A = this chain, B = another copy of it.
Amino acid sequence: MGKALNLRSLLRAGQNINIADLDSAATPGYPGHGKPDSEELTAALGETISDWQERFYAESRLDSTPTRSILVVLQGLDTAGKGGTIRHVFGLIDPQGLKIYAFKVPTEEELSHDFLWRIRRQLPGRGMIGIFDRSHYEDVLVVRVNSLVEEEVWQARYEIINQFEAELAEAGVTIIKCFLHISPETQKDRLLQRLIDPRKHWKYSPGDVKVRRRWPDYMTAYEAVLNRCSTEVAPWYVIPSDNKWYRNWAVARLLEEHLEELAPDWPKADFNVEDEIAAVEQSLA
């Protein structure tokens, strides 16, 4: 099986995106033959990622190495697969290296601060891979669609977000923003599945169908995000997500490409190895 080269360039959001033009069932860069070999391909990526992740974490334990972390931002409408991606992709990695946070409706305390306050509190520490299930982008998505603040407030946020992300990148955070793109038909199927299977009832809320009815408004809001907040240091990637197996593979592959570029290495010992071997040998002798 061939190896997909540079999925980043294939999935990176272009300019003046019209979401209706993007195929949510496409499988760009996929090196296999559809679903049948996807589990194997993603598991193989999981092993490579696990190895890189351990080096990335190890490197961060020494004071002499640069301060680096990774932040994966997952956005998408209900049923797009944010939770499924975390489970199937990030579930392949040592959970000690992950910091997962799901942003909900802001609390009263969170609303009493600027919209980035709660985001900053959940940023991954040194050597960690952070995963945001929803993010600061909700403040120009649900907030915009429902006019939760004045237009001049949300209009200003695109630039505030770009500055925030530039600041993070400058501070050593590699930002990987994934828009999990599904069609309205796929959402319908998945919502119905949640209703038909009693084991999935807990994932459904009557509010979901209300949000679904605002689909065109959400597309407009997502287009603004993709067109105004895909920057050189923090580009957006559009992940066609009608096929769960492709979505999982693609997010894993994007993470692998970024880790490969970061190329963390095992840190050098900052002690004398021979002396320590002797000390251990002699201890409790």
Which A residues form the contact surface with B (CB < 8 A)? 58-59, 61-62, 83, 86-87, 90-91, 93-96, 98, 100, 102, 133, 184, 188, 191-192, 195-196, 198-199, 201-206, 209, 212-213, 215, 266-269, 271, 273, 276-277, 279-281, 283-284
Decide yes or no: A280 and B212 within 8 Å by CB, A91-B95, A96-B87, A98-B95 being known contacts.
yes
Chain B contacts for A205, CB-based, 8 A: 271
Q: Given the known inter-chain contacts A96-B83, A277-B195, please indicate yes or no for A215 contacting B61, CB distance below 8 A.
A: no
Residues of B within 8 A of A269 (CB): 198, 201, 204
Kindly report which residue of chain B lies nearest to residue A277, judged by CB atoms. B195
Which of A83, A98, A198, A201: most chain B Cβ within 10 A? A201
One of B100, B102, B195 near A273 (C-beta < 8 A): B195
Task: Choose one: B98, B209, B266, B283; the contact of A276 (CB below 8 Å).
Answer: B209
- The answer to whether residues A276 and B206 also contact, given A198-B269, A283-B188 and a CB cut-off of 8 A, is yes
Distance, CA A109 to CA B95, complexed state (A): 27
Which one of B202, B204, B206, B268 contacts A201 once the chains associate, using CB atoms below 8 Å?
Answer: B268
Residues of B within 8 A of A98 (CB): 95
Q: Would B95 and A283 count as touching, CB distance under 8 A?
A: no
Measured in the bound complex, the distance between the Cα atoms of B187 and A280 in whole Å is 10
On chain B, the residues within 8 Å of A281 by CB distance are: 188, 192
